[in-house]
Amino acid sequence: MLPQMNGRLSCCSLLLLCTCYMSAARNANTLLELSPQEYFSSLQPGRASLVYFSRDALIGVSVSPGARLFLEQLENSVGALQDYGISVVKVNCLKEEVSRYCGKENALMKAYLFRGNVLLREFPTDALFDVNAIVANILFALLFNEVKYITTLVELQNLENSLKRRSNVVFAYVPAIGTAEHRAVMEAAFVHGTAHQFVLTTEVALLKTIGCEDSDALSARLFFCHCQRVPDLTQPCRRTPMEQSLTTLNIHTYLKLMAEPLVTEVAEDPEKVSTVHLQLGLPLVFILSQKETYEVDKRTAEYVAWQLLGKAGVALLSRDSVDLNVLLQSNVALKTAEEGAPIKYLVLEDTDEIIALVEDKIKGEQIQEDEDESDNNDQEIQDDQVMEAVYRDRKRELPLELIRTLTEETFSAALTETAHVVVLFYASWEAVSLAMLQSYVEVAIALKGTQGISLAKVNCWDWPDVCMKQNVTQFPITKMYEKGARPLTYTGMLGTAELLRFLRLSSISCPVKLTTIEEVDDYLSGEVYADSSSYHSTSVLGIFRPSMKEAREAFVEAGNMLRGYVTIGLYAEDDALILARKYAVPLPALLLARHEDHRLDSIPLSKQSAPDIVQTIRSQLLETFPEITVENLPHYLSLEKPLLILFSDGGLNQRVRMEMLSLANGKGHEAFLACWMNLKTTPVGRGVLKAYFSIPPPLPLLAWVNLHSGGEVFAFPSDQSVTETNILSWLEKLIAGLEIPSTTLSDEAWKPPLPAYNFLHMMKATLPEFTVHAVYSRGGTDELQQAEEVSEEKSTVREEQVEEPGLEAEKGQSPGRDLRGTAPRLAGREKPPKRHMEL
């Protein structure tokens, strides 16, 4: 009985041990939570710990969104920091606790790094914005004596001189502290810091002084300075650049290659030779030598090795020691890492041919890898076109000096300096923000010297509190501030022309109050705002009798909603009836002066609420026969009408245009939308044609597309001329079911491949005068319902109530504030003061 009981106890003990082990494994990456007493009593001499003192355990104390985001990133970094022996702790402050860490309100905005019970560094929590930033900053602080921070070329040269014949230098440039590249350098320094002296800078000017003229502010770089191999102390240290991107694995591989002998001498069959280079997938170059030319061949091998350092290995192979069954004239052999690949024996004239041979091979392999990666990532390349465009333009220098950079301390004061202040709220790490920043700079150039308007920007990654107070909930967003008024938010496309038009029209009062008949005539003729005529094609005028107070106030509200997208005038004088009789329209009424067509339309206002007036103006601004573009397509699709669309390879000739206009204005035109698309200015239309027809017919091509019911696509007979009579006859047959569709579109909802690629959901379809929000899908009832709801929105421009400017910012600057602004930026870094001088 006793042995049986002992067996059961052993099984139970083993089960308990396994359970405890599994629990410990699960909790290894969990943020440890302690009381202040528990934390300080658990500190061990020499052991580093990162701690955040939280007051959310206290009754009545709520966690701010910024603190909540920081705690999420802190917990995500637990495993990464534990790999380096650094514990991560959240200390829950007690109500009676009045220490320097728990007793102060601003302690919530800081994290603390201890070694044992010694405080090494305080960090503002917004400097530890993600796992990369946390790991990079913590390792940087712990390795402060091992990793030198420099800002000038003189400092680098002095350091190199002091280490000649003693140690090599690993010199790294990162565009900002806390980036993924900075983390990779710090992790490499943690492992290889005893073998090499690591040096870091964030000054792009220093990078350019050592010969990297083509460097841009987005590209991190790393160099290996060969100071230990300097034959003469008067000679400078050679610098070998690392060609690959800065990742932990790439840096480790690179340093492993730098530690290898410059030239390896071998005396065995090349087929049996294996070096670190081959093991890492790099080629090995053999310089074939013999006793009579050994010294010359060795110098040749060393020269080639320096040129190919980090790209290929170089070995000196003695013919006298190995019986090579090759031509006597062969002087070079190339062995690749491919298993089973034969060694190539070559006859080359000079060293340049050897270098070119290896570099061309590496370049060819890289191209093949890029093509394979491209094939495997079609979705990413096709859908993330914004990021692709930003990457393509990464070396483009932007004149950011035309745009003022605002901070928490300068924001309120800046809003009072000019009549109109435009502020771009963006995130420096986000692709769409960087793309918008390019457009914003172009707008600044166009407005340079314009009185009464200034442009500024706020990086919400650096100043989240500013953006939260301004009700910024997405990036990028542009707002115009005017003295005594609420801010106006731009909701249009992110292009230069659209934003510039918005800013120009926003500077005009909306509505403009007119007081005489002469002013009305000048306004309708376009003379009043002739300098802004290129930004609007239609002027809207509301006419009211003085007694129509309620309708007039609704019209003023509608004008405020459409400000920045259309010019609107208001006439409400005693002689308003004179204008009513002149234009034969009952009051209240709208007059629309279409300047391009030299036409004036009058419309009675039957519905007089602000949303109804906005909708009436929107409808009247729609073109009778519009040209479909990427910007306006979503709005026209929201009408849910079949499209009678004419695809053209260029502009329309006058005859075809007149025929289509007559059709669009004729009987029954309300049942469909007659429109056209210029494939030269809207090349995406060729992809549309390819979807409609497997073999697109010759252009021009007229098609009937019923997206909202059935999805059939019909092509107008190519042997008939495009006339109103022929089109109407064809439509009658089509409606009667006598025509066969060319194709039927799928009834699946048009959804993006990934939620993050739902650009239509984020896109605002811009009409010539205003913007609406829309999402569209054929066969998706939810999307159509959203479109209907959006079309009934009261406003296209959000006016928001924010705190009045003028609040005095704190003059004191908290420790660590100098680390702000270190997230990656677009090329063309801001000139004001140099950062990280305290390092």
How many beta carbons lie within 10 A of that of residue 508, not counting itself? 18
Between helix 431-446 and helix 385-392 the angle, nearest 10°, is: 60
Alpha carbon 123 to chain centroid, angstroms: 27
How many beta carbons lie within 10 A of that of residue 718, not counting itself? 10
How many beta carbons lie within 10 A of that of residue 768, not counting itself? 17
- What does the alpha-carbon distance between residue 107 and residue 125 come to, in Å, rounded to a whole number? 10
DSSP string, 630-644: TTTHHHHHTT---EE
- Among 436, 441, 563, 593, which residue's Cα sits nearest to residue 503? 563
Which tokens in the block code for residue 726?
Answer: 């022929």
The 3-class SS string of 1-30 reads CHHHHHHHHHHHHHHHHHHHHHHHHHHCCC
- Among 486, 585, 596, which residue's Cα sits nearest to residue 542? 585
Alpha carbon 624 to chain centroid, angstroms: 37
pLDDT at residue 626, rounded to an integer: 87
How many beta carbons lie within 10 A of that of residue 323, not counting itself? 7
- What does the alpha-carbon distance between residue 558 and residue 498 come to, in Å, rounded to a whole number? 21
- What does the alpha-carbon distance between residue 315 and residue 261 come to, in Å, rounded to a whole number? 10
Which amino acid does the sequence have at 618? R
- Among 442, 561, 545, which residue's Cα sits nearest to residue 828? 442
DSSP string, 31-74: PEEE-HHHHHHT--TT-EEEEEEE-TTSTTPPPPHHHHHHHHHH
- What does the alpha-carbon distance between residue 154 and residue 146 come to, in Å, rounded to a whole number? 19
Which amino acid does the sequence have at 400? L
- What does the alpha-carbon distance between residue 656 and residue 489 come to, in Å, rounded to a whole number? 40
pLDDT at residue 445, rounded to an integer: 87
Q: Which residue ranges of the chain lie beneath pLDDT 50?
A: 1-27, 59-60, 215-217, 374-383, 756, 763-839
- What does the alpha-carbon distance between residue 609 and residue 601 come to, in Å, rounded to a whole number? 21
- Among 97, 102, 124, 126, which residue's Cα sits nearest to residue 113? 124
DSSP state of 271: G
pLDDT at residue 675, rounded to an integer: 92
pTM of the model: 0.47
- Among 304, 306, 305, 258, which residue's Cα sits nearest to residue 280? 258
What residue spans of 638-679 are helical by DSSP H?
654-665
- Taking only the tens place, the pLDDT of each residue in 219-264 is 788 999 999 888 888 888 989 999 888 999 999 999 999 988 888 8
pLDDT at residue 368, rounded to an integer: 54
pLDDT at residue 175, rounded to an integer: 85
- Among 646, 625, 520, which residue's Cα sits nearest to residue 571? 520
Strand order of the β-sheet with 168-173 is 147-149, 196-201, 168-173, 221-226, 238-241
How far apart, in Å, are the Cα atoms of 395 and each of 217, 218, 381, 401, 574? 8, 8, 20, 17, 62
- What does the alpha-carbon distance between residue 566 and residue 6 come to, in Å, rounded to a whole number? 89
Query: Is residue 367 within 8 Å of 375, Cβ to Cβ?
Result: no
- What does the alpha-carbon distance between residue 11 and residue 22 come to, in Å, rounded to a whole number? 16
Torsion of CA 164, 165, 171, 177, to 10 degrees: -80
Query: Is residue 621 within 8 Å of 767, Cβ to Cβ?
Result: yes
- What does the alpha-carbon distance between residue 634 and residue 774 come to, in Å, rounded to a whole number? 6
- What does the alpha-carbon distance between residue 123 and residue 631 come to, in Å, rounded to a whole number? 45
C-alpha gyration radius of the chain = 35
DSSP state of 365: H
Alpha carbon 565 to chain centroid, angstroms: 27
Query: Is residue 455 within 8 Å of 402, Cβ to Cβ?
Result: yes
pLDDT at residue 189, rounded to an integer: 92
Which tokens in the block code for residue 645?
Answer: 């669309």
